[in-house]
Amino acid sequence: MENQDFVKISERLALLEERLSAIENKVSSGSRQQQLIERIENAGLSDGETVAVDGVTIESNIIEYGLSWIGIVVLMFGIGFLMMFIQKQTNTYVTSLVGYLAVGLVYTLSRYLKNTHEHLAYMLNIGTHLLLYYVTMRLYFFSSPPAIPVKEVVVLLLLAVIGFQLYRSVKLNSELVAAIAILLVQVTSAFCDTTHESLPLLTLAAAASLWFFYRYGWWRQMIFSIITIYISHIIWLMGNPLMGHTISGLSAPQFNLVYLFSYGVLFSMAALVKPGERFKPGVFSSSIMVNGIFFFLVLLLEVLLFYMKNYSGIFTGVFVSCLAYSIFLKFRTERVFDSAFYAIFSFLALSAAVYGYTGLPGAYFFLSLQSVLVVSWALWFRSQFIVVVNTILFVSMLMVYLVSGTYLDTVNFTFAISAFLTARIINWQRMRLELKTENFRTIYLVCLFFIFAFALYRAVPSQYVTPAWTGASILYFLLSLILKNKKYRWMAIAMLLVTAVYLFTVDLAHMETGYRVIAFLFLAIVLFGSSLYFTRLLRSKKSTSSTENTETGNP
């Protein structure tokens, strides 16, 4: 009995020692909020008291984190103004010496506060890197005369400072420090102010951002870098106004497309990174979409500035590259969206290339057929996303064509054929495409109804419009029988109604008597025949249903 008591006492002492060790670890980590929670739990405070302490915690966080951010910004500006003042009073060398002394003082202060005020020390550490970059930058830029008169030397010193900051970001495990360093690479590219010095630095920044994403899972800095790098390229296209130049497009492209495509390729490689616990589910899709959107915007600006007469080849290259990469991703990754997005992007590039080669309205012929190709591609990729985007683009393109006022009979009928084939493909493989509603097919059938009627109206002489539309309704009836689909039956009935309205409102006033007799008799025969057939069909279905209910005993 005493041994059992002794064992229980030993277990409780071990448990108490373990809890004390955990508390010591929490205290040493500087987590004030966790300490407060432990104190609340140990003291057994009520819910109301907990809320009060949470308010204190929020206030403490605002004071500790918010004011430290503001303070570091104010400190940087203050030291910057101090350096400007000293330069006016003395010279560049004394100013640089004072600047480096300020860097040393800020760094010393951050080391001193490391154990007692961890976050403030962290912010001062960031300020040290920024201040070191600023002081080094002023050795040549924005100083007259410069302390070091050779720009390339100062650029190398700036890159060394940035390299040290990237090293520190790894040591501190800080994604923020890495993002700031990569942003400073882009700032340095603007200072270089020459194409083949500035744009390679942007490529270097893109590569560094991708590496940190691959190595440490720092996805926020990569999305931030995607946006800022493309914006930096746009600033360069506008003449680099950051260096005091007037805002105007460059007179020559200077092979900058090579660098633009290098950003796109590098950031596209993020899709090859294996998913894991480091990433949220939407990280890959977000980075791919942001990269694609900004790449397209910058490429569009490039075309407007330099390649208005010969952009078809550029978009053909984008089409081939993105389509090949989408196929590669289909077999390389399990994420359907990644490959689907690049497939959609490739077909958008193909549309631009077709427009460049053929112009309007001839391009509509190929663009309408492209809808069938895209849906077939979606069938292979099992991607509902491709179907949705293709539907939006097809309807938008059809509306633009109808509003344009320039029509071709071949294009009219091609739109109708494409809408019909696309609707059939969606219906045929709707389970493979994971389409759980009929909405997409209905949209294509509505497009088919209107564009086919319009195509017949434009193609035949005015006196034959009524017979042509009546023939279209017969065709829809036949399709409903062959395909056993009631939607074509409703399209046939709608076409008959439209034909009847057209006959009474238009043909009666302009059609000759002979054509009028033929049109009325032909339409009457079709209407009566349709009425008799579908009346018999509905009665047959009703009779079959009643027989089944009788056999099963249902009322």
pTM of the model: 0.73
> Considering only CA atoms, which of 485, 487, 459 is closest in space to residue 471?
459
Give the pLDDT confidence of 353-395 residue by residue, as tens digits: 888 888 777 788 888 888 888 888 877 777 777 888 888 888 8
pLDDT of residue 72: 65
Highest mean pLDDT among 253-257, 285-289, 498-502, 515-519: 285-289
Low-confidence winner among 68-77, 222-231, 241-250, 492-501 (lowest mean pLDDT): 68-77
pLDDT of residue 518: 55
pLDDT at 262 over 90: yes
User: Angle, to 10 degrees, between the axis of helix 47-61 and the axis of helix 32-43?
Assistant: 170
pLDDT of residue 25: 57
Rounded Cα–Cα distance for residues 488 and 423 (Å): 11
In which band, very low, low, confident or very high, does the pLDDT at 56 lie, cut at 50, 70 and 90? very low
Based on the number of CB atoms within 10 Å of its own CB, is 43 exposed (0-12), middle (13-18) or buried (19 or more)? exposed
Retrieve residue 423's tokens.
């609707």
CA dihedral 197, 198, 201, 207 (to 10 degrees): -120
User: Can you tell me the mean pLDDT for 333-354?
Assistant: 85
pLDDT at 133 over 70: yes
> Considering only CA atoms, which of 346, 369, 466 is closest in space to residue 418?
369
pLDDT of residue 402: 87
User: How many other CB atoms are there within 10 angstroms of residue 35's CB atom?
Assistant: 15
Retrieve residue 49's tokens.
């008291």
In which band, very low, low, confident or very high, does the pLDDT at 482 lie, cut at 50, 70 and 90? confident
pLDDT at 22 over 80: no
pLDDT at 295 over 90: yes
Rounded Cα–Cα distance for residues 503 and 499 (Å): 6
> Considering only CA atoms, which of 292, 288, 278, 286 is closest in space to residue 214?
278
Amino acid at 51: V
Highest mean pLDDT among 118-132, 147-161, 433-447: 147-161
User: Can you tell me the mean pLDDT for 519-524?
Assistant: 58
pLDDT at 338 over 90: no
Q: What is the pLDDT of the chain when averaged over all its residues?
A: 77
Rounded Cα–Cα distance for residues 113 and 108 (Å): 9
In which band, very low, low, confident or very high, does the pLDDT at 48 lie, cut at 50, 70 and 90? very low
User: What sign has the CA pseudo-torsion 135, 140, 142, 147?
Assistant: positive
pLDDT of residue 59: 44
Higher-confidence residue of 290 and 502: namely 290
- Percent of the chain, pLDDT > 90? 14
User: How many other CB atoms are there within 10 angstroms of residue 308's CB atom?
Assistant: 9
Cis peptide before 361 (omega within 30 of 0): yes
Rounded Cα–Cα distance for residues 213 and 210 (Å): 5
DSSP string, 468-515: HHHHHHHHHHHHHHHHT-HHHHHHHHHHHHHHHHHIIIIIHHHS-HHH
Q: Where are the domains of the chain?
A: 8-39, 464-543
User: What sign has the CA pseudo-torsion 374, 379, 385, 387?
Assistant: positive
User: Can you tell me the mean pLDDT for 201-227?
Assistant: 92
Rounded Cα–Cα distance for residues 75 and 442 (Å): 63
pLDDT at 281 over 80: no
Higher-confidence residue of 85 and 304: namely 304
